[in-house]
Amino acid sequence: MDPILADDLADLPALLDETRHAAAQVLTGLNDRPVARPSTANGAGSAAPEVGVGLRGALREFQQRWESRLSGSAGPRYLGFVTGGTTPASIAGDWLTSVFDQNSFTTVDSGASALERETVGWLGQLFGLTEHTGAFVSGATMSNFVGLATAREWLGERMGISVAQAGVGALGPIHVLSGAPHASIYKGLAMLGIGRDQLQLIPTQSGREAIDIERLTAALDALDGHASIVVANAGTVNTVDFDDLRAIAELKQRYPFWLHVDGAFGAYAALAPEYAHLVDGLTAADSVCVDLHKWLNVPYDAAIQFTRRRDLQVQVFQNTAAYLGTPTGTPDFVHLVPESSRRLRALTAWFTLTAYGRAGHRDIVQRNIAAARQLGERLTTSGLLQLLAPVRLNVVCFTLTDRPTTERVQALTQAITESGETFLTPTIYNGIPALRAAFSNWRTTDADLDRIYDAIITACTSLDKADD
Ligand SMILES: *Cc1c(COP(=O)(O)O)cnc(C)c1O
């Protein structure tokens, strides 16, 4: 054994204690850490270490060279994208995932897959998807991909072919309909050989990101009996708008289509009784995408995909080899997802759900929504900023009241980022340059909300000074 590695083995408990100490320092310091650390450094080009420095040396080097360059995205005032944080229990689960280093792809040697199935079942109950089966994937992009792949197989089944066997060319024209799809839907279509161009955008309701049901009905009608894929949204990124899932599901009685719902973070409305109506009808979906590294507040990488047609999913993702067995009965995860070997990704969710339960996670969702609504009200009251959409859930989409030009909104974004107090990401909504503040972190308190508000207003004021 390499002597440095042997030393680390001999000293393992002490080294892990030092690592734990370093982690605790980061976590307790999250509140004071600059929220964003924009980086222009490329990073590539340094020489690979020839002789190592051992874990203790590596930890020191990481702290000296890299730690200060990482963002505070796990902290309470990071409002970019929809990011989420990491609950204490989920971090413990993540550490133990690495410690046990299970390959949750088969059941022949470990109960890891059973633990994953237990967690899938719990999540199904949280989102009202108890008739669905599911599996863990690395993120919502992969979850959408699995849903669309299964939809593609379903289109083939209606024609008496398996697309997984015959190839996508055997299908002929493929129709995918959606109102305001997330970018990952286009990416999924590209990866599946369906093609980005096959996505037919259906107009949304006026001033909304929710699909216009009449226009969707007309588009389905025009397909003249041809089966299609409808991608519905439960929570759009800009304004967290929701398609009327129940109305879309009812259309299935008149038109043949696979209903895939992208509920990456919007599905969490199901946890809060006062918002659950937003995802009414979700249960009727053929496949559903829910991200876990966002609003469940577990570390990257984790999402779940749900489906009603596991048999079709197996047709696509089966990984047959003499040593893997054939997928019969309850198929192993190796036959359900793009990966073969895979970490026991479910353990973070298992830990956080065991530690805090549905009630604890409902509280996170409700507090985040309350914070978003409050920020929306305060920004409006300031007169300096205006909302571009009502705060339906956890995202505030707003812009400058006075001259919301690209330049001014860019300058505002930059000033907010440079404050180190909070971080928001820019967007364009209805052609208007805007900002989004997305609340999805369990740590965010009222005191944080004050700091967020102050940072935005200060940046806004500095903008007007610069103009003078
Ligand atoms: C974040 C998001 C995705 C993509 O999720 P990743 O986990 O980044 O792959 C897809 N759809 C929606 C609505 C999202 O918010």
pLDDT in tens, 225-247: 999 999 999 999 999 999 999 99
Residues 246-250 have a mean pLDDT of 98
Residues 276, 400, single domain; the answer is no
* Each residue's pLDDT tens digit, 322-351: 776 667 789 999 999 999 999 999 999 999
Query: Ligand 1 pocket check: which of 182, 191, 392 to mutate, most ligand atoms within 8 Å of Cβ?
Result: 182
Residue owning the nearest CA to atom 14 of ligand 1: 264
Query: Would the pLDDT of 464 be above 80?
Result: no
CATH code: domain of residue 329:
3.40.640.10
> In angstroms, what is the span from residue 187 Cα to ligand 1's centroid?
11
Ligand 1 centroid – CA 403 distance (Å)? 31
Q: Which among 27, 33, 74, 80 has a CA at the least distance from the CA of 298?
A: 74
Residue 370 has pLDDT above 90, yes or no: yes
Give the whole-number percent of the chain exceeding pLDDT 90: 93
Place of tokens 């734990």: 20
Specify if 26 maps to a domain: no
Instruction: Determine contact, residues 267/288, Cβ cutoff 8 Å.
Output: yes
218 lies in the same domain as 345: yes
Domain span holding position 417: 357-467
Instruction: Provide the pLDDT for residue 380.
Output: 98
Angle, CA of 128, 132 and 134, to the nearest 5°: 105
Query: Under DSSP, is residue 60 helix (H, G, I), strand (E, B) or coil?
Result: helix
User: Residue 38's pLDDT is what?
Assistant: 87
Q: How far apart are CA 55 and CA 399, in angstroms?
A: 47
Mean pLDDT, residues 64-72 taken together: 95
Closest CA to 84 of 304, 240, 264, 261: 264
Residue 101 and residue 220 in one domain: yes
- Interatomic CA distance for residues 145 and 133, integer angstroms: 16
Residue with the smallest CA separation from ligand 1 atom 13 is 264
Last residue of some domain: 298, 329, 351?
Answer: 351
Is the overall model pTM greater than 0.75, yes or no? yes
Are 337 and 222 in the same domain? Answer: yes
Q: How far is the CA of 139 from the centre of ligand 1 (A)?
A: 7
Specify whether 282 is located in the same domain as 424: no
279 and 316 co-located in one domain: yes
Q: How far apart are CA 95 and CA 251, in angstroms?
A: 46
140 C-alpha to ligand 1 centroid (Å): 5
Q: What lines the ligand 1 site, CB under 6 Å? A: 82, 139-141, 144, 182, 184, 235, 237, 262, 264-265, 291, 303
Q: Taking residues 8-22, what's their average pLDDT?
A: 98
Q: Are 392 and 454 part of one and the same domain?
A: yes
Angle at 153 between CA 152 and CA 154, to 5 degrees: 90
For 135, the token pair is: 């599996």
Is there a domain that residue 11 lies in? Answer: no
Q: What is the 3 state secondary structure string of 309-351?
A: CHHHHHHHHCCCCCCCCCCCCCCCHHHCCCCCCCCCCHHHHHH
For the cut 90, the answer to whether the pLDDT of residue 213 exceeds it is: yes
Does residue 340 share a domain with residue 395? Answer: no
Look at residues 351, 375, 401 and tell me which one is the last residue of a structural domain: 351
Helix ranges restricted to H, 383-422 = 406-419
Residue 52 inside a domain? The answer is no
Report how far apart, in Å, the C-alpha atoms of 379 and of each of 349, 385, 416, 420 are: 35, 6, 14, 19
Distance from C-alpha of 119 to C-alpha of 404, rounded to nearest angstrom: 46
Report the C-alpha gap between 361 and 366 in whole angstroms. Answer: 9
406 pLDDT above the threshold of 80 = yes
Select the more confidently predicted residue: 107 or 414. 414
Does residue 388 share a domain with residue 361?
A: yes
Establish if 449 belongs to a structural domain.
yes
Structure tokens at 146: 């699995």
Strand-pairing partners, residue 306, are 134, 288
**What pLDDT is recorded for position 465?**
82
Q: Judge whether residue 468 has pLDDT over 70.
A: no
Nearest ligand 1 atom to alpha carbon 144: 10
pLDDT in tens, 252-286: 999 999 999 999 999 999 999 999 999 999 999 99
CA of 66 to the centre of ligand 1 (A): 27
Are the C-beta atoms of 284 and 249 separated by less than 8 Å? yes
Taking residues 80-87, what's their average pLDDT? 97
Residue at 3 is within a domain: no
- Residue 329 is predicted with a pLDDT of 81
DSSP one-letter string for 169-219: GGG-S--EEESS--HHHHHHHHHTTS-GGGEEEPPBPTTSSSB-HHHHHHH
Q: What is the CATH number of the domain that holds 362?
A: 3.90.1150.10
Q: Is the pLDDT of residue 249 over 90?
A: yes
* Residue range 144-157: mean pLDDT, rounded: 98
Starting from the edge strand earliest in sequence, which strands make up the sheet with 395-400, in order?
A: 385-387, 395-400, 432-438, 425-429
Whether 23 is covered by a domain: the verdict is no
How much is the pLDDT for 40?
82
| 20 within a domain of the structure (yes/no) | no
Q: How many domains does the chain have?
A: 2
Paired strand residues for 385: 400
Q: What angle do CA 285, 289, 292 make, to 5 degrees?
A: 140
Tell me, in angstroms, the distance from the centre of ligand 1 to residue 184's CA: 7
Per-residue pLDDT of 152-206, as tens digits, reads 999 999 999 999 999 999 999 999 999 999 999 999 999 999 999 999 999 999 9
Whether the CB-CB separation of 406 and 428 falls below 8 Å is answered with: no
Atom 10 (ligand 1): residue with closest C-alpha? 140
Q: Which residues contact 324 (CB under 8 A, 6 or more apart)?
A: 106, 332, 334
**336 and 394 co-located in one domain:** no
pLDDT digits (tens, 9 = 90+) for 387-403: 999 999 999 999 999 99
Note whether residue 14 is domain-resident. no
Residue 435 CA to residue 430 CA, distance in Å, equals 13
Query: What average pLDDT is seen over the chain?
Result: 96
Out of 305, 330, 351, pick the residue that ends a domain.
351
Atom nearest to 139 CA in ligand 1 = 7
Q: What pLDDT is attached to residue 235?
A: 98
**CA–CA separation, 436 and 398 (whole Å):** 7
Say what percent of the chain tops pLDDT 70: 99
Give me 132's structure tokens. Answer: 């669905």
423/337 same-domain check: no
CA 105 to centroid of ligand 1, rounded, Å: 24
Domain match, 457 and 318 both: no
